[in-house]
Amino acid sequence: GEVSGQSCVGRYSCKNAIASSITDSSCIGEQACRSLVSYYGETPNVSSGSCVGYRACYYAGFYGVLGPSISASCKGDDSCHYAGYSGSVGDLVDSCDSDSACKDMGFYGSVGNVMNGCNGDGTCENVAVGGDQSVSAIVDCCNAPPDGICAGVASNDGLVAADPTCKAGVNLADTLALIEEESESDTSPFTEKQLCYGKTAVENTVASLSKGHSTAAVRYGVNKAFDDLGCDDKSDSEICEILQL
């Protein structure tokens, strides 16, 4: 793929790396981005100064699924070291910045998008540790202090216990997954228009949360999704129940 913007600088950097693109001074340091292949997903796009440091993003896909976006993430020695690690990890955006942050992240399980999360030494090491576990998303949380926060969490409950501010991102990620399920159902109580508008509102709310916008702004987005989905007369819907939490 494309390599531009003074990227892939350092001894063995990008050696054998398979990526759609590496741009904007990314993959800087010895063995940085050494093998970004994602065998069971899209090949990654690495941008905005990502994977900077000794062995940063070392085996990023590691025979699982990663991304496809790594943006402004994995800055520090051994950061995002085995990010997919034979499981699956979503996009990494403004995340996993500092030494050993998200070092072996997927570790056989699955982790959704990580957005403005896991910044600080040792944060989010070995998430979904060692088994068929999953974490829906890490959005605007698990950021130091203290260093090492959210290391070893293996479930949504464990994540929220480690950092209660993760709950909003988990709920929104679960809502998006349920909207996708409803879109494929022939018996959904939601109309196609409601699901389309509701999905857009939730996606915008996730973006707002990841950028650190005010609680009022995030609540506005949640309320808009609730209204767009017509939840007033669907009180028994799991989607609507989550949006009221």
Report pLDDT for 79. 94
pTM: 0.91
Cα(245)–Cα(31) distance, integer angstroms: 44
Report pLDDT for 178. 97
Report pLDDT for 44. 87
54-110 residue pLDDT tens: 999 888 887 778 888 999 999 999 998 888 877 888 999 999 999 999 988 888 888
5-25 residue pLDDT tens: 899 999 999 887 888 999 999
Report pLDDT for 16. 79
Report pLDDT for 41. 63
149 vs 42, which has greater pLDDT? 149
Cα(184)–Cα(197) distance, integer angstroms: 16
**What is the pLDDT confidence band of residue 167, given thresholds at 50, 70 and 90?**
very high
